[in-house]
Every structure is written in C-alpha cells, then in structure tokens.
C-alpha cells in the first residue's frame, strides 16, 4: 500500500498532513493543529456556516474552444469536512483574505455596510461572500443589473442561494445582503487571481503522480484511492469501511454522535466517479459528482428538479454533497431519491470487477437498509432525459425555506393527453421509512380525466399508500394532509394557463438569468 500523504496548499504554503486522527475535521485541524482561530464552531453539524472556508481546485474551462485550466472556488463547512477533502486543493480561510493593511473587497463591503454585530458568524459570511464573488459573473454584468430589474432579481437570488447556509442571529441579514451587493459590484483583482498560475502549478504537482493517498493514526485509517479499480479493491478488502463522499451526513456521526470510524475510504479523488456524461436518452452522473456540479445539467433537463436543488441544504452542502451519497445514505428524507424514483432513474452498482444495474426505486429496502451488497458501491446514477410530453412537479415542504430538511417531498411525473392521465409516477419522501412510490394514488389517477373527482379520489387513496410518522419536523396528520393537498396543487399548476397567478410562496416563477 502506498504511503503518500495528504497534501494541500494552506493559502500559498504546501502542507503535508501526518499524525492526525483520520476522523479529524478540517475545522478542528485549523483551530487545534494550525492555531487558526478565525473559523468558528457554531454547531459542528454543517447547519450554521460559522466555520465556512473555501477550497480552490484546478478545473478545465468548459468552453470547448480554449481548454484552459482555471481555479474554481467552493465554500465548505469545515466542521463536517474530513481532512481527505483537502488533498490537492488550496484551502483559504478568513485569515488569508487581507493583504497587508488592505481588506479584501468582500471584507471592506461588510465593514462599510455594517454587516457585522457580534462578529461570530462574520468569518463564515466573509468566506461565503468570497466564494460567491468568485463564482458570480463579473461586476460589469451587475453594473448593468442596476438598470435591469430581471438581472437585479437574479442577483438577489444568487446572493440568497450563496448565503443561505450562513446563520446570523444579530443583523436580520439586510446589512449583509447590502454588503453582498456591494461586493458584487467591485471588479478588484485580488491576490488569488494574480497568483492563479502559480497556484495551479503547485496544485498540479501534488496530484501529478496520481497515487493512492492514506492517513493512519490512532489505529484509524483513511484511504483516498485515485482510480476506480483501486476503489473496488479497497471496498472488497475493507467491507466494514465507511465510504466517504461529501460526508455531510457521515461526519455528523463523529461530530455529534462521538463515533470513531476505524476505516474511511474517501471517493473524492477517483476521477471516474466525478464524471458526467450524456447519451441520446440518458444522463450518467458519477456517484461522486456534487449537487453543485450537476445542478446546471439537471436544471436544463428538469427545471423543477433544478429549482428544488437550490433548497437542498446550502451552497456549502451542495458543494460537498453528492447525488450518489444522497441515494447511498438511504435516508427517508433525502431530497433527490423521490425525484429519481419518479423519473425512473437507475443505479450502476460495482463490486470488484462486476457491475449490475438496479432501479433507484428497488434500491431501498427498509429504513437505512439498501440492496447494496458487502463490498459493493454505487458507481453512477443513470437518469433518463426528459420527455417533453411529460411534466415534472417537485414540491419540497419544510419549516424554513432555506437549508432545511424536508417534512415532505413530493414528486409527480406525468403525461396528460387531452386532459386524460396516461402516464403517472408519484414518489414521496418523509412519508415512510424509505423514499417510496404512491402506487394506489397512481392507480387512482391512471387513465382518468383530470377533474376534481379524480383528484379527490387520488387524495383519498394516499391514506392507503402511507402511514407517516410524527417527529420534530411535523405531525403525522400534517404530513398526510399536506401530501394530499400537493396532489391538488400539482394538478392546479398543470392546468394553470396564466403565468400571472403565482402558485408558490417561494417565487419559483422568477427565471434565473445567469444559468449559462
């Protein structure tokens, strides 16, 4: 076994991680090992953003004409990120932004707009703003936005999406939003842009050998395989090891549950798992593709799916979390499985050299139990491309609009011909121990005419499909009632010709201008 170490750039400085607990989070590494106390622990569960830092990585520009390497910047919750995520990346924390006495534009905007009060959440907001600033179109476009209401709305949405994973208990957010706008309007070239070429070459040097990396300490191990075959071998060799994709749920067992994971296999460096490909009828999404990375494609194919993804976790969570992890985790309240089930998506499962194909629907057996065999892992998710004759409706119901776990997630995929329902797939999350089809409800609809009686019958049948639980998010009664009402809402939206009538509280009707 290779004994290559985790290496990364701490700002400009090459760091090698040795003798660290493989279960250590990046936040604890920063605070306890590096004595960098700017990043704060607010929750240790990835829900408040006070620990936000940014990872820069080398990527190829997607513009086919000029294949140019560039740095992409992603905000992460360091409190739920294990050290493996650092390998081959540049880690930037709040301490890195200031140059001499000059504050970075995002810092200056926060000061000028009175964006901090107690200041504890501020480093996290600053890093989210930095990431937002790096990922938004240039200031030029936003200067134009000042005169264009559509663009301005889009900018406001971008800001909300970029900051939804950062909680502030003091300001009420208006001042921070003002700072975000101001920061977006600056075209300052920062030190990271000036040093990009050198950063890229330093980062490429780390991963040049493309060897497997490992970290062993305190009787625990972390493996970071570099190829699919290495991964397949490792999973067979250590069937009890935990597979680490985004880790946004797995890390909670350590930070909240005080678990000690003996063996971790991190998927982040397996190139094959981070690929997206398309054929005529199918999108193939590698198991390690983050929500963020497939968001644009899924939005193109299924706008409703894309819109829902904006409400899955936060930018930090979507930068880390993966479609494969969401399925593999088998939570009854994962947001993508009901959609994947309704769309008839399939999984490519791999064990050793063998692969097999299983529908997402049949993957889930019981609460947190799946068809995955020992030594087997999810290689990719195969999603059929959209059928223009069919309509997809996705509804996420939660207590809070931003960064909340679904109370109920409903997905309807149907085809109407002359008001007759000729095809229908309905799946729900949060209504049973697993994400599940509503067969009786589908039966009540199939072949029927879209009319109030049909909808009433479908609503009534839902009580036979599900017996939801009561928990901290909602009562069983509410879950059932809202699930029924969503059937009504779905058909109302389908029948609604006028675009002037809003149907959703979260203004879904606003089209994003900068998706391209």
Q: Which of residues 43-72 bind another protein (CB under 8 A)?
A: 43-45, 47-48, 50
Residue 277 phi/psi, 5-degree rounding, is -140, 160
Q: What does the alpha-carbon distance between residue 400 and residue 386 come to, in Å, rounded to a whole number?
A: 30
Q: Tell which residue, 276, 268, 409, 222, has the closest CA to residue 331.
A: 409
3-state secondary structure 390-447: CEEEEEEECCCCCCCCCCEEEEEEEEEECCEEEEEEEEEECCCCCCEECHHHHHHHCC
Q: Is 436 in the site for another protein (CB under 8 A)?
A: no
Q: How far is the CB of 503 from another protein (least distance, A)?
A: 7
Considering the complex, state which of residue 478 and residue 514 has its C-beta at the smaller distance from another protein. 478
Pull the structure tokens for residue 295: 């968001």
Q: Which of residues 493-512 bind another protein (CB under 8 A)?
A: 501-506
Residue 32 CA to its chain's centroid (Å): 28
Q: Give the number of other CB atoms < 10 A from CB of residue 223.
A: 25
Q: What does the alpha-carbon distance between residue 187 and residue 133 come to, in Å, rounded to a whole number?
A: 10
Q: How far is the CB of 291 from another protein (least distance, A)?
A: 18
* Cα end-to-end span (Å), the chain: 43
Considering the complex, state which of residue 64 and residue 258 has its C-beta at the smaller distance from another protein. 258
Torsion sign over Cα 22, 2, 268, 286: negative
Q: How far is the CB of 469 from another protein (least distance, A)?
A: 13
Residue count at the site for another protein (CB under 8 A)? 89
Q: Is 425 in the site for another protein (CB under 8 A)?
A: no
Q: Is 196 in the site for another protein (CB under 8 A)?
A: no
Q: How far is the CB of 406 from another protein (least distance, A)?
A: 12
Asked if 116 and 176 touch (Cβ cutoff 8 Å), the reply is no
Considering the complex, state which of residue 387 and residue 502 has its C-beta at the smaller distance from another protein. 502
Among the listed ranges 122-130, 263-271, 359-367, 453-461, the one in contact with another protein (CB under 8 A) is 122-130
Binding residue for another protein (CB under 8 A) from 164, 342, 445, 455? Answer: 164
Binding residue for another protein (CB under 8 A) from 13, 18, 114, 509? Answer: 114
User: Using the 8-state DSSP alphabet, how is residue 84 labeled?
Assistant: G
Q: Is 176 in the site for another protein (CB under 8 A)?
A: yes
Among the listed ranges 172-180, 184-192, 262-270, 447-455, the one in contact with another protein (CB under 8 A) is 172-180
In three-state secondary structure terms, 291 is helix
Q: How far is the CB of 73 from another protein (least distance, A)?
A: 18
In three-state secondary structure terms, 325 is helix
Q: Is 481 in the site for another protein (CB under 8 A)?
A: yes
Beta-strand (E) ranges in 61-112?
69-77, 90-92
Q: How far is the CB of 118 from another protein (least distance, A)?
A: 3
Considering the complex, state which of residue 114 and residue 420 has its C-beta at the smaller distance from another protein. 114
Residue window 67-106: x/- pattern of binding to another protein, with contact defined by CB under 8 A: --------------------------xxx-xx----x---
Q: How far is the CB of 123 from another protein (least distance, A)?
A: 5
Q: Is 392 in the site for another protein (CB under 8 A)?
A: no
Binding residue for another protein (CB under 8 A) from 231, 232, 441, 474? Answer: 474
Q: Is 170 in the site for another protein (CB under 8 A)?
A: yes
| Cα 286 to Cα 58, 278, 293, 516, distances in angstroms | 19, 11, 11, 22
Q: Is 110 in the site for another protein (CB under 8 A)?
A: yes
Which residues are registered as beta bridge partners of 384? 282
Asked if 322 and 243 touch (Cβ cutoff 8 Å), the reply is no
Considering the complex, state which of residue 88 and residue 468 has its C-beta at the smaller distance from another protein. 468
Q: Is 123 in the site for another protein (CB under 8 A)?
A: yes
Q: What does the alpha-carbon distance between residue 303 and residue 49 come to, in Å, rounded to a whole number?
A: 27
Q: How many degrees, rounded to 5, is the angle at CA 173 between CA 167 and CA 178?
A: 130
Q: Is 156 in the site for another protein (CB under 8 A)?
A: yes
Considering the complex, state which of residue 35 and residue 65 has its C-beta at the smaller distance from another protein. 35
Q: How far is the CB of 127 from another protein (least distance, A)?
A: 9
Pull the structure tokens for residue 194: 């000036």
Binding residue for another protein (CB under 8 A) from 193, 277, 439, 492? Answer: 492
Q: Which of residues 320-379 bind another protein (CB under 8 A)?
A: none
Considering the complex, state which of residue 156 and residue 423 has its C-beta at the smaller distance from another protein. 156
Q: Is 134 in the site for another protein (CB under 8 A)?
A: no
Q: What does the alpha-carbon distance between residue 213 and residue 438 come to, in Å, rounded to a whole number?
A: 45
Q: How far is the CB of 428 from another protein (least distance, A)?
A: 14
216: part of which helix (H) or strand (E)?
Answer: strand 213-217
Q: Which residues of 201-219 are buried (b: 16+ CB within 10 A; e: fewer)?
A: ebbeebbeeebbbbbeeee
Q: How far is the CB of 116 from another protein (least distance, A)?
A: 4
| Rg of the Cα atoms in the chain | 23
Q: How far is the CB of 322 from another protein (least distance, A)?
A: 19
**Token pair 């600053």 is at which residue?**
126
Q: Is 5 in the site for another protein (CB under 8 A)?
A: no
Binding residue for another protein (CB under 8 A) from 7, 75, 154, 166? Answer: 166
Considering the complex, state which of residue 287 and residue 482 has its C-beta at the smaller distance from another protein. 482
Considering the complex, state which of residue 314 and residue 425 has its C-beta at the smaller distance from another protein. 314
Q: Which of residues 21-40 bind another protein (CB under 8 A)?
A: 35-40
Q: Which of residues 238-297 bind another protein (CB under 8 A)?
A: 256, 258
Q: Tell which residue, 105, 113, 94, 101, has the closest CA to residue 40.
A: 94
């Amino acid at each position: 076994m290779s004994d290559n170490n985790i290496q990364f750039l701490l700002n400009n400085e090459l760091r090698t991680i040795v003798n660290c607990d493989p279960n250590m989070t990046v936040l604890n590494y920063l605070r306890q090992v590096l004595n960098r106390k700017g990043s704060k622990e607010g929750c240790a569960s990835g829900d408040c953003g006070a620990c936000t830092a940014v990872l820069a990585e080398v990527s190829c520009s997607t513009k086919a004409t000029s294949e140019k390497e560039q740095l992409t910047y992603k905000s992460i919750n360091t409190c739920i990120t294990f050290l493996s995520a650092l390998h081959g990346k540049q880690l930037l924390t709040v301490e890195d932004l200031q140059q001499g006495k000059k504050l970075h534009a995002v810092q200056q905007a926060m000061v000028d707009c009175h964006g901090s009060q107690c200041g504890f959440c501020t480093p996290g907001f600053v890093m989210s703003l930095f990431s937002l600033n790096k990922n938004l179109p240039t200031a030029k476009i936003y200067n134009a936005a000042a005169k264009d209401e559509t663009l301005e709305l889009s900018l406001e949405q971008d800001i909300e999406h970029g900051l939804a994973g950062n909680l502030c208990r003091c300001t009420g957010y208006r001042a921070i939003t003002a700072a975000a706008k101001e920061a977006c309007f600056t075209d300052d070239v920062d030190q990271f842009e000036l040093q990009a070429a050198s950063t890229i070459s330093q980062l490429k040097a780390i991963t040049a050998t493309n060897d497997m990396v490992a970290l062993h300490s305190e009787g625990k191990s972390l493996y970071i395989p570099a190829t699919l075959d290495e991964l397949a071998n490792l999973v067979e060799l250590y069937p009890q090891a935990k597979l680490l994709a985004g880790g946004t749920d797995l890390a909670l067992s350590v930070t909240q549950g005080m678990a000690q994971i003996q063996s971790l296999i991190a998927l982040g460096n397996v190139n094959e798992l981070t690929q997206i490909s398309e054929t005529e009828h199918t999108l193939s999404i590698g198991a390690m593709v983050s929500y963020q990375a497939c968001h644009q494609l899924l939005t193109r194919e299924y706008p409703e799916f894309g819109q829902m993804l904006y409400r899955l976790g936060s930018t930090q969570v979507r930068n880390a979390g993966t479609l494969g992890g969401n399925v593999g985790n088998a939570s009854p309240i994962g947001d993508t499985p009901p959609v994947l089930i309704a769309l008839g998506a399939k999984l490519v499962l791999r064990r050793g050299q063998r692969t097999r194909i299983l529908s997402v629907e049949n993957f889930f057996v019981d609460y947190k139990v799946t068809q995955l065999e020992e030594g087997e892992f999810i290689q990719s998710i195969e999603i059929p491309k959209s059928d223009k004759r069919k309509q997809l409706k996705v509804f996420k119901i939660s207590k809070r609009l931003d960064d909340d776990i679904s109370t109920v997630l409903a997905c309807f995929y149907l085809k109407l011909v002359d008001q007759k329902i000729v095809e229908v797939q309905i799946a729900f999350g949060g209504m049973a121990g697993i994400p599940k089809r509503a067969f009786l409800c589908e039966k009540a609809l199939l072949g029927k005419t879209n009319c109030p009686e049909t909808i009433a019958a479908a609503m009534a049948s839902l009580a036979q499909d599900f017996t939801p639980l009561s928990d901290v998010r909602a009562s069983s009664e509410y879950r059932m009632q809202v699930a029924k009402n969503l059937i009504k809402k779905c058909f109302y939206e389908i029948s609604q010709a006028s675009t002037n009538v809003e149907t959703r509280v979260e203004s879904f009707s606003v089209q994003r201008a900068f998706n391209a």
